[in-house]
C-alpha cells in the first residue's frame, strides 16, 4: 500500500530473517557514489536522524534490499514499522520533517513549489544529459558533447541564480542545494578541465565550497559493504554545520526557472 503524501509504502513481504531484521531505528540502504544516495545521506546528517547504514554494491545487491524494494535502486529507507521510502527526495523530506535545525525545508508553499520545480529540472533533463555526457557508449553515442551542451544550458541557470543569492535555495543552504549538488559534482568531474574553463564563477565557488565542507566529507566516508549478520552500523553521519559560501554582492535580476526546449 502506498502513501502518496509521504512517499511511504508497506512492503507487503514476509519479515526478514532475524539476523538481518530491522532494528528499532530506520535502515538506510546506500551506495557511496550514487548521487541520489548522496543527497539522502546529506539530509539524514542535517536532520541528525540516526539510521542503520547498509552500504551495498550495485553488482551484487543483497536479497534484503530487493525484498524491501524490488526496484533495486538506492537509497531505500526501511522504517521500524516495515514501511519503505524508496525515492531520495521523499527520504530527504521525511527526515527533515522529523528535525530541521538548519532550516533546509523551504519556508512556505510557494518556496517549496519553486524548489521542487528546480529539482525536477535536475532530475529530468539535466540527469538525462549528464548520463549521456558521462556514459555515451551506453546510449550508442559517438561522444557526449551535444549532451554536455544541454547540461551546460541548465548549469547556466544555476549560475544566474547564484548571482542574486548565496545559495540555490536563497540565503541559506537548503533542500534544493543538497538535492542538486551531487549531480553538478558528477557533471563537473566528467571533464574537470573543461568545467574549470567555463565562465561560471558563482557555480564553481558554490561547488568548491560543497566539496570542501565537513558535511560532504562525513557522508562520503568509505565503509565496508554490508553483509547479513554484520554488526549494525548506527550513524547520523556526524554533526553537520550550516554550509558557508561567501559570494560577491548580488547584481542580477530575479531568477526564474526555465526548462530548455
Same domain, 203 and 225: no
Rounded to the nearest 10 degrees, the angle between the axes of helix 175-190 and helix 201-211 is 100
Give the global pTM. Answer: 0.88
The number of domains in the chain is 2
Question: What's the CA gap between 136 and 140, in Å, rounded?
Answer: 6
Same domain, 119 and 179: yes
* Position 256 confidence tier, pLDDT thresholds 50, 70, 90: low
Residue 94 has pLDDT above 90, yes or no: yes
CA triple 208-211-215, angle to 5 deg: 135
Q: What is the pLDDT of residue 17?
A: 45
Q: Provide Rg for the chain, Cα atoms.
A: 19
Task: Look up the CATH number of the domain holding residue 36.
Answer: 3.40.30.10
- The verdict on residue 253 lying in a domain is no
**Residue 116: which residues within 8 A CB-CB, separation 6 or more?**
none
Yes or no: say if 31 and 37 are a contact pair by the CB < 8 Å rule: yes
Same domain, 53 and 65: yes
For the chain, report the end-to-end CA distance as a whole number of angstroms: 37
* Full domain range(s) for residue 90: 2-102+215-235
Residue 171 has pLDDT above 60, yes or no: yes
Per residue in 103-125, pLDDT (tens digit) is 999 999 999 999 999 999 999 99
Q: Which of 169, 189, 175, 186 is nearest to 257 (CA)?
A: 169
Q: Are strands 76-78 and 27-30 parallel, antiparallel or unpaired?
A: antiparallel
* Position 246 confidence tier, pLDDT thresholds 50, 70, 90: low
Best mean pLDDT range from 1-5, 7-11, 247-251: 7-11
Question: Which of 112-121, 234-243, 250-259 has the least mean pLDDT?
Answer: 250-259
Same domain, 90 and 117: no
- The verdict on residue 260 lying in a domain is no
Question: What's the CA gap between 49 and 4, in Å, rounded?
Answer: 22
Per residue in 34-91, pLDDT (tens digit) is 999 999 999 999 999 999 999 999 999 999 999 999 999 999 999 999 999 999 999 9
Amino acid at each position: 500500500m502506498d502513501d502518496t503524501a509521504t512517499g511511504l509504502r508497506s512492503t507487503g513481504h514476509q519479515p526478514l530473517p532475524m539476523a538481518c531484521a530491522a532494528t528499532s531505528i530506520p535502515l538506510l540502504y546506500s551506495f557511496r557514489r550514487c548521487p541520489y544516495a548522496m543527497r539522502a545521506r546529506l539530509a539524514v546528517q542535517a536532520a541528525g536522524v540516526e539510521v542503520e547504514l547498509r552500504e551495498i554494491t550495485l553488482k551484487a545487491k543483497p536479497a534484503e534490499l530487493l525484498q524491501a524494494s524490488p526496484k533495486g535502486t538506492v537509497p531505500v529507507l526501511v522504517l521500524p514499522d516495515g514501511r519503505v521510502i524508496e525515492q531520495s527526495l521523499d527520504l530527504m523530506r521525511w527526515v527533515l520533517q522529523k528535525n530541521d535545525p538548519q532550516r533546509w525545508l523551504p519556508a512556505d508553499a510557494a518556496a517549496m513549489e519553486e524548489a521542487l520545480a528546480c529539482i525536477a529540472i535536475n532530475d529530468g533533463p539535466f540527469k538525462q544529459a549528464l548520463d549521456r555526457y558521462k556514459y555515451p557508449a551506453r546510449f550508442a553515442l559517438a561522444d557526449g558533447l551535444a549532451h554536455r551542451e544541454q547540461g551546460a544550458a541548465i548549469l547556466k541557470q544555476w549560475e544566474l541564480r547564484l548571482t542574486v543569492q548565496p545559495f540555490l535555495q536563497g540565503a541559506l543552504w537548503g533542500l534544493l542545494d543538497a538535492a542538486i549538488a551531487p549531480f553538478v559534482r558528477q557533471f563537473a568531474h566528467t571533464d574537470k578541465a573543461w568545467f574549470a574553463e567555463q565562465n561560471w564563477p558563482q557555480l564553481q565557488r558554490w561547488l568548491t565550497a560543497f566539496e570542501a565542507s565537513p558535511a560532504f566529507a562525513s557522508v562520503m566516508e568509505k565503509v565496508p559493504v554490508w553483509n547479513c549478520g554484520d554488526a549494525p552500523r548506527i550513524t547520523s553521519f556526524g554533526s553537520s554545520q550550516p554550509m558557508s559560501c561567501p559570494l560577491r554582492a548580488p547584481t542580477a535580476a530575479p531568477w526564474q526557472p526555465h526548462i530548455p526546449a
